[in-house]
Structures are given as C-alpha cells and as structure tokens.
C-alpha cells in the first residue's frame, strides 16, 4: 500500500516510535494523521507540529486498554478525515518480573499490549473489509519472536501480539487486508532510557547501555519509521529493524534446547551470577 493520500491512525503517538511514525507519515504525503496517546497534551503537541508543517492532523487522547476509547478514536478519525486506511497499534508498556508480578500489573500489560490490538481490529475491520482494503501495523517486539530477559509479562504479551497479527494476516489477507508486525530490539525510546518528550543524542546513550537487549545496537525511532514505510510499500509482514533477529529466531526453532541454554547464560551474565 502506498501511503500518499491515506488516512493513518497511530496509537502511542506522543513519543518514541509512534511520534516518528506520525512525522514520517505526514512527510510522505498521508492525507491525514491522527495522533493518539494516553498523554493527551503530548498527542496535541505532535499534532500541532504536523499542522504547523502543513499536514492535516488530529490529536485524540485514548486509553488503548479501553475498547470504547478505541472505538471513539476510530469514530473521531472517520468524522474528521474519512475512513481509516492505516491503523498502527503501537502503544505498549513493559513490566519487570515474573509470576510474582501483581494481578493488576498482569492485567494492565495484557490490556495494553494485546487487547488494544484486538480493539483496533474490531473497530476498523468492518469498514476496511467493506472497501476491500486496509492496513494494520502491529508494534510487537523481538521479544515476541524470542523472549525478554527479566520480564515474563512483556515476553508473554508480545508473543500474543505477534500471534494475533499472524492470525489477522492469514484470515483477512485474501480480502484486501494487509498486516505488518514490527519486531525491533532496542530502540531509543522511553523504554530504553530516552528522556520523555524530546529527542536526545543517541551516541551518548549508547555509551551507557549494557545487556543483550542492546547488544545489537540501539536504533533511532526515525529509522524504524522509515522501515515501516518500506514494508508497507512491499506489503511485507515481518519488520525487523535489527536483521539479526531473523537468525536468532531460526536458531531458536532449529535447536530450542541449545537456544534455551544460551539464553540462560545471558540471563546469568546480566544478573551477575555467571561468567
């Protein structure tokens, strides 16, 4: 799908990858960009920036964990600009820990990282299927193909997000619905330590990072957004800003026992319990 003259909605659009997607969509000729975020003032700031640059944009405060909020978001976008052509379900959170994580935190991350994608599909699919075209972009993570050391909730929910994206592609691909699943490793966003609300010097940040999550380098959100545009033009399902992830996934599938042993070694190194 070409981006030009399309209406795009981006959740988590106030910062990080979401903000970069909004900016890039506007620069590449989208008919309109709807900036959605739980941070209403942040969404307004991004929408105002796009408008100042001559693009059509709208900010909508949205709690993606609330199905009614997501439905209202799509309704607001449609009322303002017409049918939604592209929906980027990008918002996500991380919670550290394992089974001991509270039920409240498990429920919240499940709602934000998985159910929000369900709500988005539920809200836009009827119109897209009626028109015979539409694009869903799901931001998951390399953790959805591999795992996330130190966070069972993130690993579990991102695997579920990938599975849902695959199911949607299989089920609706022959009816004009295209699906892409974004699975980066470390990106210079708030999750990686970037300051909220602003851009910062990536090389300085890299000097202070440690651990396997950043072992293959931290990429800028703008680089990720460019890759999403390329994947959409090719209608490619899997988007890997870190190409190494494809090799890791193949190793995982080819010899899971060996992969698990290697991940345990990485876990030990990070925890300081192994060499």
Q: What is the mean pLDDT of each run of 10 residues along the chain (275 residues)?
A: 93 95 97 98 98 97 98 98 98 95 97 98 98 98 95 97 98 98 84 53 46 67 95 97 94 95 90 50
Domains and CATH numbers, the chain: 7-242 (3.40.50.720), 245-275 (no CATH)
Euclidean distance between CA atoms 145 and 245, whole angstroms: 8
Total Cβ atoms within 10 A of residue 209:
15
Secondary structure class of 187 (helix, strand, coil): strand
Active-site residue (options: 119, 154, 172, 248) = 154
What pLDDT is attached to residue 191? 60
* Burial class of residue 104 (count of CB atoms within 10 Å of its CB; 0-12, 13-18, 19+): exposed
Q: Residue 186 has what pLDDT?
A: 80
User: What is the side-by-side strand order in the sheet with 134-139?
Assistant: 57-61, 32-37, 7-11, 86-89, 134-139, 177-182, 238-239
Give the Cα separation of 178 and 152 in Å (integer): 30
Question: pTM for this structure?
Answer: 0.90
Beta bridge partners of 22: none
Sequence length of the chain is 275
CB of 94 closer than 8 Å to CB of 191? yes
Residues 140, 92: Cα–Cα separation, whole Å: 8
Q: How far is CA 211 from CA 230, 252, 255, 258, in A?
A: 29, 19, 23, 20
Which DSSP category does 146 fall into?
S
* The pLDDT value given to residue 205: 46
User: Which of these, 192, 183, 189, lies nearest to 242 by C-alpha position?
Assistant: 183
Question: Diameter of the chain by CA atoms?
Answer: 58
Angle between helices 244-254 and 256-271 (to 10 degrees): 120
Contacts of 167 (CB under 8 A, 6+ apart): none
Q: What is the DSSP letter of 96?
A: -
Based on the residue annotation, tell me whether 119 is a catalytic residue of this protein. no
Tell how far CA 100 is from the center of its chain: 26
């Amino acid at each position: 799908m070409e981006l030009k003259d399309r209406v795009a909605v981006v959740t988590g659009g106030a910062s990080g990858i979401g903000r970069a997607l909004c900016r890039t969509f506007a620069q590449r000729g989208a008919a309109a960009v709807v900036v959605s975020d739980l941070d209403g003032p942040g969404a307004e700031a991004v929408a105002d920036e796009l408008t100042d640059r001559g693009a059509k944009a709208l900010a909508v405060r949205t709690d993606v964990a609330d199905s009614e909020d997501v439905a209202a978001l799509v309704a607001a976008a449609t009322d303002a600009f017409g049918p939604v052509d592209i929906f980027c379900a990008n918002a996500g959170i991380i919670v550290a820990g394992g089974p001991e994580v509270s039920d409240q935190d498990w429920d919240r991350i499940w709602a934000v990282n998985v159910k929000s994608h369900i709500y988005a599909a539920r809200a836009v699919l009827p119109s897209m299927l009626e028109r015979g075209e539409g694009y869903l972009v799901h931001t998951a993570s390399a953790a959805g193909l591999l795992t996330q050391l130190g966070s069972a909730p993130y690993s579990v929910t991102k695997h579920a997000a990938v599975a849902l994206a695959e199911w949607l592609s299989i089920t609706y691909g022959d009816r004009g619905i295209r699906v892409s699943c974004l699975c980066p490793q470390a990106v210079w966003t708030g999750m990686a330590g970037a300051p909220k609300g602003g851009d910062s010097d990536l090389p300085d940040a890299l000097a202070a990072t440690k651990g396997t999550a950043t072992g293959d380098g931290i990429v800028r959100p703008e680089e990720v957004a460019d890759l999403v545009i390329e994947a959409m033009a090719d209608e490619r399902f899997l988007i890997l800003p870190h190409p190494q992830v494809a090799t890791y996934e193949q190793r995982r599938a080819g010899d899971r026992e060996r992969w698990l042993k290697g991940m345990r070694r990485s876990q030990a190194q990070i925890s300081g319990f192994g060499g």
